[in-house]
A and B are shown apart, each in its own frame.
Chain A
Amino acid sequence: MTGSTGVLGALAAHLLGAGGLVLPHLNYSTILPELILLGGMLVILAASALSPRPLPTEVYATATVGLGIASLIASLVLWRDVTSHGAFTAIARSIDVDGFAVFFLVVVSCILIVAPMFAAGYLRREGITGCEYYVLALISGSGAMFMASANDLILIFLGLEILSIPLYVLAGLDHRREASGEAAMKYFVLGAFSSAIFVYGIALTYGATGSTNLAEIGAFLSRNVITSNGVLLGGLALLLVGFAFKVAAVPFHMWTPDVYQGAPTPATGFMAAMAKAGGFAALLRVFVSTFPTLRTSWQPVVWVLAILTLVLGAVVAIVQNDVKRMLAYSSINHAGFVLLGLEAATARGIAGSLYYVFVYSLLVLGSFAVVAAVGGNGDADHDISRYRGLGRRRPVLAVGFAILLLAQAGAPFTTGFFSKFYVVEAAVAAHSYALAVIAMGSAGVAAFFYLRVVFVMFSDVGIAGASDVSRGGGEIARAGAVAAEVREQDATLLGGAGASAVATLVAPAYVAAPELAPEGTPSEPEVSVSPWVTTGLVLCVGATLVFGIWPQPLVDFAHQATLIF
């Protein structure tokens, strides 16, 4: 062995010339969360390949949740390091270990803890076996983590690809629906296109500054005053376009509605949360920490992007009758809010954006989980009429969904309010009054379509226009029918939630569908919720309410994350 090493060493010395090779110190602990995810993913793959018969999906889900928790712990350990020692770079300055990065590590870990629960219920219901969803989710999460902690444009690009490619596949996971394959194809083509643009941006930036390392680029720009910076601005513009594609900012949002609608619903939720987390992590870092000297150049562009995103997302969502598609447009609107923090380009703005991304991740995951549950077997019909009377059939589910939607609308005493408040506050502090007003106005418009769903859920009549049919006697008769219905869903569902929180594995994996709706409404689609989904929803809704009433810890977290930059 020593001989061969010697030979290799000699060969290396020969090849490298006199300089020798000083390998960078590999500080694995700095990328431990990523390694946990990737390693765990490989173990899951191996287990699924080696096991004699297909393992139930819950096993994989449990493993994924466990990996998420492990990476969360690893992230929190990193957070402790960072808060006690300050930010540092590791492994040849490719990896940034700072509050900002760790914040996103935590966000991604949380997404990975919650998302598998929703997926488990869905995959079980749809009869989709195998470990693919979980494996892809884990890889995607590691990509987002790399994007967040990358200190190098190349690494950001790789992270972007590792994040995106599993998402393309996830979009096409459901073989039975053509829409799913179509979504995957569309997402793949447009995503690859945006990646190409992004790489071109990296190339131009490298050409202009001589480095792909963010710190070196920043140092170069602060040392030198560039007189003709056309190439650099071109690179910057292409980078922005690449990111805008990923986070679905208008006018680079075209893929969003179709892909969100076509993809299997839990995958949509995951996609919305994860792509936004990873995309915004890199976007914020690159623009705010690397190109602050060019702020006057990119700020107006971001301003325009933010306004377009806010307005179009909210306005187009109004006319959607498909809840899934409506949520897709609403996610565009949310992206606009996060851009608000970037436009402010202050510590407060960044903190606001971080907070928003965290809050939004949980909200969107929970929302799409409910959509998946209500969508029913086949996952094809998400029309708003399916939600009619949900408040009576599944009160707890409906209340949870209502809370999530109201939080997305920015209702007080939910995390949604403080997230909007945080970014708008930053915008006002940066004197972007017009932007702040437009943002809040778009929140008002957005409230309309969230409330429409809420209203339909808690009304037996359906959407406003349909109510004209029933008058007088009908009203009374229906009221009587409602009153007569004493089916008590609350107790069973709450019980299920408690049980599953304690012993997810022991509890039956599937709660039988409730009996059909009472007479007079024979065509109501049944909605079944597995304890997995319930547990996840309890987590999402709980976080929404708890951190809505007591936002201090999360706000402090986001704020400190930007201080230790």
Chain B
Amino acid sequence: MIVGSSAFGPIVLTGITQGQRAFPYLTTMVLVPVGVALLVALLPKGSTWAIRAAGMAGSLGVLGIAAAVLDQFQSGDGGYQMVSAHSWVAPFGLSWTLGVDGVSLFLVLMTAVLFPIALAGATERTNPKAFTVWVLLLEAGCIGSFLSLDLLLFFLFFETTLVPVYFIIGGWGHERRGYAATKFFVYTFAASAFMLVGILALVFIHQGQTGVTTFDIRQLANTHLSGTADVLLFCSFTAAFAVKAPIFPFHTWSPDAYGEAPAAGSVLLAGVMAKLGTYGIVRFDLGLFPHAVVVLAPLLLSLGVIGIIYGGIVAAVQRDLKRLVAYSSLAHLGFIVVGAFALTGEALSGSVLQMVNHGLYTTALFLLIAMIYRRRGTFSIPKLKGLQGSAPVMAGVFTVVMLASIGVPGLNGFVGEFLILAGTFLTHRWWAVVATAGIILAAVYLLWAYQQVFHGKQEPDGDEAPFAEMTWREGLVLAPLVGLIVFLGVYPQPLLQRITPSVDAIVLHLEQSAHPKIPLAGQPVTSTVAARLDPYPSAVTVSISSSSGSRRHTRTNVKGAK
């Protein structure tokens, strides 16, 4: 009668690769913020300095580990690296399986970069202890989500992020923070309910086929799904990601949450949390449900394009600077979604790259707005005027960031958007055409806002002091962001070089799985098309050489596309 502890079938742990014996970078990266958060929680409330130092040290430590991961990462390998797999709750088949590939690598790096910046740029003076704890826990949740190769583990981290964000918005937000925080939590929580059911259904279908209970996406990717099941599961996953990202009709929580959140909260929401949704689309939707992706791609492309246009139009009529950026974020995420569902190599690469880019310039924008708010106490565009006169440096930084956001060549926003549009144009021409209009819209509303806020003559408003110039501290916070914005605009090769092999592997998997049903029309050879259209020949040449080398996936891809 008594059966051993392995409850629901044999538990198989695979992927114990070379990373196993090496230092567990990824696990450490997830656990360090948790440990520091616990440490901070034990510090006395009054020792503000120690709390801030510990928080900063913890997030910088994560950045250090992330840098080490980047160093260890073998560029050109499209598979998962540094995989560490440990059984956690055997009866459920839940395992602690972390791994990094080209798609997640830079999202993790971006997360590691943005958290110290968010902590440093935080203007929250009340209760720094709780704030630091929540931010660190959020960092652990985000990094864990990006690194999880186990669906259930991903879901756990994905859900975990809600709690810190809820408290950050609710605790340190603006006037309507309670409303915004609750709306955010309930929306995203309810949406991920569908994903959990979808995850379980997928796992049981897989179990029925192979007899193995596992949440490992590398094994689940080989599940054979009937057309209906595929589409339903895809919808259940996409529901969660679409709300989290957010994609157009599911975005209603985001302007409230972005607008009411404190500066650090907006930064982390738009910069990092939104990427959880788009990352989920790339990793899980594209990786697990190839048929459904091919079938439903036009729908998602349409939603992405609608998001671009809608976000642009609504942003253009905003009178609140922060809500303007929130809506512009919606538009930019529309680009990322379009890139993901164009189903071509360079569009997907651009999509992944754009996730990183968007994280950088949105963070900078939100921080700048927070600096303005700190001086003027308002986000209202009509009430701000002529800031350029007394704060030229800030105006300059704002210009650079804004131009990156618009997508001006030479800055990072351009690279991603161009790759996305170029890749989309090949397979879904008219969507690309409409999406391009979004760039023009972005130029319209951002330049208009800039003109309103920075140009003109500052009217002395009696009791108000003249608008202060950017402080050294603020400059130091923004410097890395601006540096990265410019650097990635000029030289995105190191990123593309590492992203492309993984993206190629995803596209190949899509192609192989979806081919019997619907051939991907005009599936291009990634590298040649990219070489033809990319304005950075040097960057792409390297990426060709790396991907056309000895790597299995890319080679097959090139062959298959002929």
Residues of A within 8 A of B (CB): 83, 86-87, 348, 351, 406, 409, 411-413, 417-418, 421-422, 424-425, 428-429, 433, 436-437, 440-441, 443-445, 447-448, 451-452, 455, 458-459, 461, 463-464, 467-468, 471-472, 475, 479, 482-483, 486, 488, 490-491, 551-552, 555-556, 559-560, 563-565
Which of chain A's residues have a CB closer than 8 A to the CB of B7? 351, 555-556, 559
Query: Are A482 and B186 within 8 A (Cβ)?
Result: no
Query: Are A482 and B126 within 8 A (Cβ)?
Result: yes
Query: Are B156 and A417 within 8 A (Cβ)?
Result: yes
Query: Are A447 and B197 within 8 A (Cβ)?
Result: no
Query: Are A86 and B2 within 8 A (Cβ)?
Result: yes
- Identify 29 residue pairs between A and B in the complex whose beta-carbon atoms are under 8 Å apart, listed by A's number: A409-B189, A411-B162, A418-B89, A421-B152, A428-B197, A428-B200, A436-B197, A437-B193, A440-B193, A444-B186, A444-B190, A447-B190, A448-B185, A448-B186, A451-B181, A455-B181, A458-B170, A459-B170, A467-B175, A468-B175, A472-B377, A482-B126, A482-B127, A488-B45, A491-B44, A555-B91, A556-B5, A560-B5, A565-B1
Contact of A440 with B8 at beta-carbon distance under 8 Å, contacts A488-B44, A563-B2 already known: no
- Shortest CB–CB separation between residue B393 and chain A, in angstroms? 27
- Shortest CB–CB separation between residue B379 and chain A, in angstroms? 13
- Shortest CB–CB separation between residue B364 and chain A, in angstroms? 26
> Cβ of B492 < 8 Å from any Cβ of A?
no
Residue of A413, A433, A467 near B156 (CB, 8 A) is A413
Complex: A424 Cα to B92 Cα, angstroms: 12
Query: Are B186 and A455 within 8 A (Cβ)?
Result: no
> Cβ of B284 < 8 Å from any Cβ of A?
no
Query: Are B182 and A452 within 8 A (Cβ)?
Result: yes
Which of chain B's residues have a CB closer than 8 A to the CB of A451? 166, 181-182, 185-186
Which of chain A's residues have a CB closer than 8 A to the CB of B8? 348
Complex: A479 Cα to B196 Cα, angstroms: 39
Which of chain B's residues have a CB closer than 8 A to the CB of A443? 189, 193
Complex: A242 Cα to B125 Cα, angstroms: 56
Query: Are B377 and A437 within 8 A (Cβ)?
Result: no
Q: Give the nearest-CB partner of B5 in chain A.
A: A556
Q: Give the nearest-CB partner of B197 in chain A.
A: A436
Complex: A417 Cα to B162 Cα, angstroms: 14
Which of chain B's residues have a CB closer than 8 A to the CB of A559? 5, 7, 91
- Shortest CB–CB separation between residue B165 and chain A, in angstroms? 12
Complex: A409 Cα to B46 Cα, angstroms: 32
Complex: A488 Cα to B129 Cα, angstroms: 13
Which of chain B's residues have a CB closer than 8 A to the CB of A464? 176, 178-179, 182
- Shortest CB–CB separation between residue A354 and chain B, in angstroms? 13
Could you tell me which residues of chain B, from 399 to 454, have a CB within 8 Å of some CB in chain A? none
Q: Is the interface of A mostly helix, strand, loop or mixed?
A: helix
Q: Give the nearest-CB partner of A490 in chain B.
A: B45
- Total A-B pairs, Cβ < 8 A: 136
Which of chain A's residues have a CB closer than 8 A to the CB of B127? 482-483
Q: Give the nearest-CB partner of A552 in chain B.
A: B89
Which of chain A's residues have a CB closer than 8 A to the CB of B45? 486, 488, 490
Query: Are B171 and A459 within 8 A (Cβ)?
Result: yes
- Shortest CB–CB separation between residue B49 and chain A, in angstroms? 14
Which of chain A's residues have a CB closer than 8 A to the CB of B181? 451, 455
> Cβ of B484 < 8 Å from any Cβ of A?
no
Contact of A459 with B178 at beta-carbon distance under 8 Å, contacts A433-B201, A490-B45, A559-B7 already known: yes
Query: Are B182 and A428 within 8 A (Cβ)?
Result: no
Query: Are A448 and B89 within 8 A (Cβ)?
Result: no
Q: Give the nearest-CB partner of A473 in chain B.
A: B377
> Cβ of B157 < 8 Å from any Cβ of A?
yes
- Since A429-B204, A437-B197, A455-B178 are in contact, a sample of 5 more A-B pairs with Cβ atoms closer than 8 Å, ordered by chain A residue number, is A412-B160, A447-B190, A451-B166, A464-B182, A472-B377
| 7 closest residue pairs by CB, A with B | A440-B193, A444-B190, A464-B178, A428-B200, A412-B156, A412-B159, A559-B7
Query: Are A83 and B2 within 8 A (Cβ)?
Result: yes
> Cβ of B467 < 8 Å from any Cβ of A?
no
Which of chain B's residues have a CB closer than 8 A to the CB of A406? 163
> Cβ of B177 < 8 Å from any Cβ of A?
yes
Contact of A440 with B159 at beta-carbon distance under 8 Å, contacts A451-B166, A464-B178, A490-B45 already known: no
Which of chain A's residues have a CB closer than 8 A to the CB of B167? 458
Query: Are B92 and A555 within 8 A (Cβ)?
Result: yes
Residue of A86, A412, A455, A565 near B157 (CB, 8 A) is A412
Most buried by A among B3, B89, B181: B89
Query: Are A563 and B1 within 8 A (Cβ)?
Result: yes
> Cβ of B90 < 8 Å from any Cβ of A?
yes
- Shortest CB–CB separation between residue A280 and chain B, in angstroms? 20
Most buried by A among B1, B166, B179, B186: B1
Query: Are B89 and A555 within 8 A (Cβ)?
Result: yes
Q: Give the nearest-CB partner of B170 in chain A.
A: A455
Q: Give the nearest-CB partner of B172 in chain A.
A: A479
Residue of B1, B88, B90, B91 near A564 (CB, 8 A) is B1
Q: Give the nearest-CB partner of B187 in chain A.
A: A444
Q: Give the nearest-CB partner of B232 in chain A.
A: A433
- Shortest CB–CB separation between residue B173 and chain A, in angstroms? 10
- Shortest CB–CB separation between residue A86 and chain B, in angstroms? 5
Complex: A499 Cα to B89 Cα, angstroms: 34
> Cβ of B536 < 8 Å from any Cβ of A?
no
Query: Are A563 and B3 within 8 A (Cβ)?
Result: yes
- Shortest CB–CB separation between residue B264 and chain A, in angstroms? 16
Q: Give the nearest-CB partner of A437 in chain B.
A: B197
Which of chain A's residues have a CB closer than 8 A to the CB of B189? 409, 443-444, 447
Q: Give the nearest-CB partner of B208 in chain A.
A: A429
Contact of A458 with B171 at beta-carbon distance under 8 Å, contacts A406-B163, A437-B193, A556-B7 already known: yes
> Cβ of B194 < 8 Å from any Cβ of A?
yes
Query: Are B176 and A479 within 8 A (Cβ)?
Result: no
Query: Are B178 and A86 within 8 A (Cβ)?
Result: no
- Shortest CB–CB separation between residue A563 and chain B, in angstroms? 5
Complex: A164 Cα to B202 Cα, angstroms: 43
Which of chain B's residues have a CB closer than 8 A to the CB of A560? 2-3, 5
Which of chain A's residues have a CB closer than 8 A to the CB of B190? 440-441, 444-445, 447
Contact of A437 with B194 at beta-carbon distance under 8 Å, contacts A412-B159, A564-B1 already known: yes
Which of chain A's residues have a CB closer than 8 A to the CB of B176? 464, 467
Query: Are B159 and A411 within 8 A (Cβ)?
Result: yes
- Shortest CB–CB separation between residue A469 and chain B, in angstroms? 10
Query: Are A433 and B196 within 8 A (Cβ)?
Result: no
Q: Give the nearest-CB partner of A425 in chain B.
A: B200
Which of chain B's residues have a CB closer than 8 A to the CB of A490? 45
